[in-house]
Structure 1
Amino acid sequence: MTSPPQIEAVIDLEAFAANIAALAACAPTSALMTVLKANAYGHGMIPMARAARAAGSPWLGVATVDEALELRAAGDTGALLCWLASPGASFGAAVEAGVELTASSAEQLREIADASRGASDRPRVQLKVDTGLSRNGARGPQWTELVAAAAAEQAAGHVEITGTWSHFACADEPNHPANDAQQDVFRDAVDELSAAGVHPGLRHLANSAATLTRPSSHLDLVRVGIAAYGIRPDPTLTYETVLTPVMTLRARIAQVKRVPAGAGVSYGHQWTAGRATTLALVPTGYGDGIAIAASNRAELQVRGERVPLVGRVCMDQLVVDLGDGTATRGDVATLFGPGHDGEPTAQDWATASGTIAYEVVTRVGGRTVRTYKGLA
């Protein structure tokens, strides 16, 4: 008989599918890409890819070539884009596997073309323009150089340009002037590409926040990442679309004990009991992705009640103060979930840790067992 997991992330695939449907409805004339980078934001890339396809997502997106090849090895055959690669990436293998690649410079485009010589198909390449995020992508004269390289490589039959895209810097602030500015730069970049005789292919700019709040940016395709997992791109962002957090993180209590007033808890005695109280030991810690910064700030739920995390988060353990409440070994302590039953949310933990909810779910790992419920 298999024992229940000590630390478990329960992933609700029905909620995931409902989120994808709701996001698709925000951009009904655009195709939708579900982003699965970084192990699907901590939710498990392969199961979430299958669930996304079952939910009708025509495109999947990942950051690296290795992530794309892992999806192909797991049996995914649909439209798939990756966009972040250092020199020497496995471009040839990606082309053979039918993965669409992104070129962010003329040099990278030529490397993709050279690495794919002898492949059965031409590389399908999308071009990334830096419209103001100042991260990846070509900008200004570099974009002009990339456009010229794309025209030459496509005319020579070395590549097929299938898309043109960029990424917002401030879409979670709908009124930020950078949003209009980036759309203007993107439009000009597409016009420059067309003027060079290269069809831009699929044009895409909208991320989760823009999908939810900025219809003018939806274009041919929208890329939904964190919103697909039910988490607000920013806690202050307002929209009418109903999204449900997909992950519930919980652990089984390993020990319960009564301690006297004055008892210090965990390393450095950063918390001391002000009165006699009951403590419960929860067997998860920073080795599993729980932020030390949440020490003495976050809450968990035990037997339907929120209880404070007290003392410093350790590698494998954290402690909660039950006060005069009761619990027994094996009881479930919920760190976060959708919040429907009063439990903390990933955003609550982000606030307690001084970070963003993206990081809270993405860093879940270590010994955490992922359990999937809902869709087959």
Structure 2
Amino acid sequence: MLTSGPERVAEVNLDAIVHNVRTIRSLIGERTLIAVIKADAYGHGAAGIAQTVLDAGADALGLVHVREALALRAVGIDAPLMAWLHTPSTDFVRAVQEGIILGASGWDLEAIAYAAQQVGAVARVHLKIDTGLGRNGCTPADWPSFTARAKELQDAGLIAVEGIFTHLAVADEPDRKETDQQLDVFENMVSQARAAGLNPELIHAANTPGTFTAADKETGEILLGNGVRVGLGLYGLSPLAGVTSGDLNLRPAMTVSTRVNSVKEVPAGQGVSYGLNYSTPHATTLALIPVGYADGVPRVATGAPVRLYPNGKAEPRTYPVVGRIAMDQMVIDLGEPGLSAPEHGYLGARAVLFGEGENPPVEEWADAAGTINYEIVTRISPRVARVHTTDKDA
């Protein structure tokens, strides 16, 4: 009863990615689409996702670290790449040499200009404003001096200020007033930059939730600017509470699965996993699922769903994880005794943690772990093989 293929796999359907890009494109029209593929494309495999989203209609790729952008250059991606979170160890020289668009928030503007001087090239820069999120970005108080310095460096031929951007704190809660407040600050700061002599072509604030809710807001045109940065939506996941992927015309791209590697009969009162927090209420059959927190599955997600596709007479069904999730494995209770017999087909059965269609949605894993769908897909570890598929492979 041997099966081929990886023992643990995150299948990423590239046709779903294409569908999602086209859905996003239908919302934004001719605006610039920066497809955010930071953190290895939210765990989906950046090298494979990059060309897919570009072919589907994205205009540029958004990263966070310069190192991520350079890795894409190394595999032949020559599209516009943008990176915006830097440290004093960031390789600005290579970034400028490779034409990486660099976000600048403060001290990094001087480092970028110095790198440009070193290599004799003009650095492409987007200035970032902190309009209320409180993370990186120039504060409104420092913005006049920051933009004045950017103008000096641009006049000196060291940088070209091609864009201005910000990031939203509560766009995933569309009824909150803070988004409009941030946009008021943003609009004012952009006007100040223009008054200082800068002429940025690309103005971008909207993330995935902002992009999908802009049509319902009076400030929607300001929110969309002339470009958006979309991450989670590319991968077919909803950022909005109570709104499913299907509601947004998105297709979840990732399906995480493995194979049942042990099936055994146990009596009533059998403890399960570390801490013995679960005991079988009656005689039953336990199935062992060989993934755990070393594979990126949250240790706290007891009760999360696993759908089994038996190889015998048993029907597909979804079961909750029982007991504590361990480093390499977790357990589900099949609910009745006698199911270890070969004719039921549980040993070697495909076990899907989450995916598209009748499989459990990733949100159920997020709920069990007390987190968000972003985290679940992003944390799936390199120990789980990434396999890029299409609808034809289904």
Contact residue 121 and residue 158 of structure 2 kept, 8 A:
no
1:110 aligned residue? 110
Contact residue 96 and residue 120 of structure 1 kept, 8 A:
no
Contact residue 308 and residue 320 of structure 1 kept, 8 A:
yes
Q: How far off is 1:23 after superposition?
A: 0.6
Contact residue 33 and residue 230 of structure 2 kept, 8 A:
yes
Aligned amino acid, residue 258 of structure 1: E
Contact residue 92 and residue 119 of structure 1 kept, 8 A:
yes
2:327 to 303, 310, 315: 315
Secondary structure of 2:34 counterpart: strand
Structure 1, residues 298-346: CA drift from partner, whole Å, max 9, x if none? 11101220111111101001111111354432211100012x22x2111
Q: How far off is 1:170 after superposition?
A: 0.8
User: How far apart, in 1, do the equivalents of 2:39 and 2:142 lie?
Assistant: 28
Q: How far off is 1:117 after superposition?
A: 1.8
1:353 aligned residue? 369
Secondary structure of 2:118 counterpart: coil
Secondary structure of 2:209 counterpart: helix
2:350 to 325, 332, 337: 332
1:220 aligns with 2:221: no
Under a length normalisation based on structure 1, what TM-score does the superposition of the two structures give?
A: 0.96
Contact residue 238 and residue 248 of structure 2 kept, 8 A:
no
2:128 aligned residue? 128
Contact residue 235 and residue 347 of structure 1 kept, 8 A:
no
User: How far apart, in 2, do the equivalents of 1:276 and 1:226 lie?
Assistant: 43
Secondary structure of 2:113 counterpart: helix
Q: How far off is 1:58 after superposition?
A: 1.0
Contact residue 287 and residue 366 of structure 1 kept, 8 A:
no
Q: How far off is 1:237 after superposition?
A: 4.4
1:150 aligns with 2:119: no
Contact residue 37 and residue 45 of structure 1 kept, 8 A:
yes
User: How far apart, in 2, do the equivalents of 1:238 and 1:213 lie?
Assistant: 14
User: How far apart, in 1, do the equivalents of 2:142 and 2:277 lie?
Assistant: 52
Q: How far off is 1:157 after superposition?
A: 1.0
1:234 aligns with 2:240: yes
1:363 aligns with 2:390: no
Secondary structure of 1:293 counterpart: coil
Structure 1, residues 156-185: CA drift from partner, whole Å, max 9, x if none? 111111100001111111121111111110
Change (3 A) 1:327 1:263: farther
User: How far apart, in 1, do the equivalents of 2:211 and 2:244 lie?
Assistant: 12
Contact residue 172 and residue 237 of structure 1 kept, 8 A:
no
Gaps of 5+ in 1: none
1:51 aligns with 2:48: no
User: How far apart, in 1, do the equivalents of 2:322 and 2:244 lie?
Assistant: 33
Aligned amino acid, residue 16 of structure 1: I
Gaps of 5+ in 2: 215-219, 310-315
Structure 1, residues 324-375: CA drift from partner, whole Å, max 9, x if none? 354432211100012x22x211101000110000000000014101111118
Secondary structure of 1:234 counterpart: coil
Q: How far off is 1:141 after superposition?
A: 2.0
Contact residue 302 and residue 327 of structure 1 kept, 8 A:
no
1:37 aligned residue? 38
Contact residue 27 and residue 211 of structure 2 kept, 8 A:
yes
Q: How far off is 1:108 after superposition?
A: 1.4
User: How far apart, in 1, do the equivalents of 2:391 and 2:156 lie?
Assistant: 46
Change (3 A) 1:238 1:277: closer
Aligned amino acid, residue 294 of structure 2: G
Contact residue 23 and residue 241 of structure 1 kept, 8 A:
no
User: How far apart, in 1, do the equivalents of 2:244 and 2:319 lie?
Assistant: 29
Contact residue 25 and residue 57 of structure 2 kept, 8 A:
no
User: How far apart, in 2, do the equivalents of 1:241 and 1:313 lie?
Assistant: 32
1:344 aligned residue? 360
